[in-house]
Structure 1
């Protein structure tokens, strides 16, 4: 898991902490793989306290010491925080500082890739900007139970992300308003083309249709420039026309290569496609099938492949660099996968996995009741019987108003109770409306 190139700590006290943290990390890895029982808050908080205790000892050892490079201890500590962060999401404590660790790691990766490629749109930045603002609020309001070391570390990571985000936003601000829509469209076409290029069965027709849209945009150029109604060159014209040229060139390459990947890069390509496909399925079924800790293995594998690049490019086992087609194809898959991981993290509900079955059933019930309401309601109160029966069966699971699992009180009680109350209110409204209609129909 850890690269041998990273040195062991020289200090005997650090090596002792490394051994302890390695044991904690291995325990967390076993805990996340155990599907026979749900993850309990008290188990996660106990391990969290153990890690924080090791951090305190490490800070004492390194206090006043000269700046040094990373060693194996730093990497294992990072793994512990990454895992704990995902565990906090899994137990429903998504609005606490530890849960922000994995999210800031993913945002940093995405922003680094956007900066490297220069291929991004305003939509890419909007979501991350909102998420970072939320994280900033979490860190400012964090309570004393969380380590000042962790809070300070997260604040620095959040600030780095905000700076990177602002630099990217400034690039888009240099585009004249009429060009922003075209720029957005070009990024969308580029990604659609890269998606078509990585499908199991390559469709030349699909790429040709996208290429036709590019030709249509190209037709708007006047002497190679984008101009306004008066014929004046729009600010950012060169940047957008350069992007158009790049995407047109990419479309030609894609049509020429037809999704064919040479053997020397086939293994890494197949693995990235598999990761992308797995994460895509999770993004569709996440409410029912995702345990946030599952994301750890995907993230680590992506990190390993991403960090294997030299000067931005991939090399095969014989040390030969990937050509432009292979490089862009592999990078697209990596970035798409990180994008899915980000989406899955921000979609994590503030509910323990122990309560998720109830929570998800109530979400479905609420959607059904709203659908019934928006389509004219029900004819008679009897039509609501299936919904009422299900609501009552969930309500009966409560003990003194709480959803217990054995002797445990899982996180997310407020969210589940609130959703249950909303469903009861909707069912009541529909019943009253149906009863009001009945006399009128019998007259």
Structure 2
């Protein structure tokens, strides 16, 4: 997916060769991304990372006498407000962002998830999600808990990487994480305004609202499904006394107005959705279909990711979503003539974009620190582990013979190792520790089950 073509050219003619070099590197990364004939290796990715860092150094040298441009370019990439005079982000900054985004996803693909470059793409997605949650003010405590945990992990990764990777990249990532933390803290403070039993009511209403939006964007619209969700909202409405959510003592808790406004939005949205029945106005229909297709493909990937996802596949989805999200004017979607979309279109688009970013986030955090070369073995071991745990939780086996299929599979995987390593040709793919630990855990589960079965079958004295 090409970057937005409307960005201004380099501000300094000396940046032109840097732009051309970055474009060539991005083309190399794109070709590597699309090549499915072999797995991606560290030796494919690290030289390209070094090339990008070299161009960053050259860019900094060009802009050294114009700190407002250096600071502003990197500030925009890290989503930090620069104290320097405002300058427009140029195509150089955007292509540089594309290179780092691709490199970040490649680091996940080769199993180096816990190294600083891998944090770039994930922090970008977290920032997008937090921006959307702040904008629409529709989120639950569960949303924030997971994001907070992921940010803390990224903070540790970046801190431990100091001195290992480019100082500029480490600074950019550290700034981006702190910006995300500030947004997260602000969102948490909004939830803290709810008193009494309002947090649980608020969370239930958020769930209903999202379910209505999901029903609204299904290929086949179901009136009965939305009506059931509307009935749930009306049941909550019936709990109000004189229009307020009161405590057992008859007091109106803090945050009552917030939850009442959310309930009213829920009732109004259900009514609008029942009226429109998923029909999108013609000027926005094509863009709507693009967003629905992206959401559906990402949803499918979330179900099959262990077997079908190469993390770099997410790049094209990100770029498509970014382009649509950034096409808004004053926060509103516009048609070809520049007219603002009505509220129904606005809310539907924002839901689809937010949901798609959420899927991308899920796919990134679910990525295993294992090279794609070892994923087939790793996934087989994951399946074996789940089966053995299920057998154990179901009461174990009555005879060691029942464990033969598991033992044979484990031994066949164990025999693939050469000097304790899983090799692919002469290469030792990343993620050896994770695969070996999982293999050891499976052997231990199998051993415990066999010992338990033998003990049961021993004759009593």
Is 1:430 the equivalent of 2:430? no
TM-superposed deviation, 1:440: 3.5
Match of 1:330 among 326, 344, 349: 349
The structure-2 alpha-carbon separation of the partners of 1:370 and 1:4, relative to structure 1 and needing over 3 Å to count, comes to: closer
Partner in structure 2 of residue 67 of structure 1:
68
Match of 1:98 among 113, 117, 127: 117
What CA distance in whole angstroms lies between the structure 2 residues aligned with 1:75 and 1:356? 32
Instruction: Check conservation: 2:397, 2:453, Cα contact below 8 A.
Output: yes
| Partner SS state of residue 246, structure 2 | coil
| Partner SS state of residue 336, structure 2 | coil
Is 1:221 the equivalent of 2:240? yes
Partner in structure 1 of residue 299 of structure 2:
280
TM-superposed deviation, 1:66: 4.3
| Partner SS state of residue 278, structure 2 | coil
For structure 2, the 5+ residue unaligned runs are 70-86
TM-score, normalization: structure 1? 0.98
What CA distance in whole angstroms lies between the structure 1 residues aligned with 2:438 and 2:164? 29
What CA distance in whole angstroms lies between the structure 2 residues aligned with 1:222 and 1:323? 33
TM-score, normalization: structure 2? 0.94
TM-superposed deviation, 1:322: 1.4
The structure-2 alpha-carbon separation of the partners of 1:177 and 1:410, relative to structure 1 and needing over 3 Å to count, comes to: farther
Partner in structure 1 of residue 24 of structure 2:
23
| Partner SS state of residue 197, structure 2 | helix
What CA distance in whole angstroms lies between the structure 2 residues aligned with 1:318 and 1:415? 54
What CA distance in whole angstroms lies between the structure 1 residues aligned with 2:293 and 2:424? 36
Match of 2:397 among 369, 378, 400: 378
Is 1:250 the equivalent of 2:250? no
| Partner SS state of residue 166, structure 1 | helix
Paired residues for 1:5-84 under 5 Å: 5-68=6-69, 69=87, 70-84=89-103
TM-superposed deviation, 1:330: 1.1
Is 1:201 the equivalent of 2:202? no
TM-superposed deviation, 1:48: 0.6
What CA distance in whole angstroms lies between the structure 2 residues aligned with 1:82 and 1:97? 12
Q: Deviations over 1:97-153 (max 9, x none)?
A: 100000111011001111111111111111111111111111111142300000000
Is 1:306 the equivalent of 2:325? yes
Instruction: Check conservation: 2:196, 2:247, Cα contact below 8 A.
Output: no
Q: Deviations over 1:19-65 (max 9, x none)?
A: 11100001000100011100001111111111111111111221131
What CA distance in whole angstroms lies between the structure 2 residues aligned with 1:197 and 1:287? 29
Paired residues for 1:181-200 under 5 Å: 181-200=200-219
What CA distance in whole angstroms lies between the structure 2 residues aligned with 1:268 and 1:440? 72
What CA distance in whole angstroms lies between the structure 1 residues aligned with 2:119 and 2:361? 12
Is 1:123 the equivalent of 2:123? no
Is 1:341 the equivalent of 2:363? no
What CA distance in whole angstroms lies between the structure 2 residues aligned with 1:64 and 1:152? 20
What CA distance in whole angstroms lies between the structure 2 residues aligned with 1:335 and 1:23? 32
TM-superposed deviation, 1:408: 0.7
Partner in structure 2 of residue 259 of structure 1:
278
Partner in structure 1 of residue 417 of structure 2:
398
TM-superposed deviation, 1:12: 3.0
The structure-2 alpha-carbon separation of the partners of 1:345 and 1:120, relative to structure 1 and needing over 3 Å to count, comes to: same
What CA distance in whole angstroms lies between the structure 1 residues aligned with 2:235 and 2:383? 43
| Partner SS state of residue 67, structure 1 | helix
Partner in structure 2 of residue 417 of structure 1:
436
Instruction: Check conservation: 2:162, 2:170, Cα contact below 8 A.
Output: no
What CA distance in whole angstroms lies between the structure 2 residues aligned with 1:177 and 1:14? 58
Match of 2:231 among 188, 208, 212: 212
The structure-2 alpha-carbon separation of the partners of 1:395 and 1:143, relative to structure 1 and needing over 3 Å to count, comes to: farther
TM-superposed deviation, 1:312: 1.6
What CA distance in whole angstroms lies between the structure 2 residues aligned with 1:181 and 1:207? 21
For structure 1, the 5+ residue unaligned runs are none
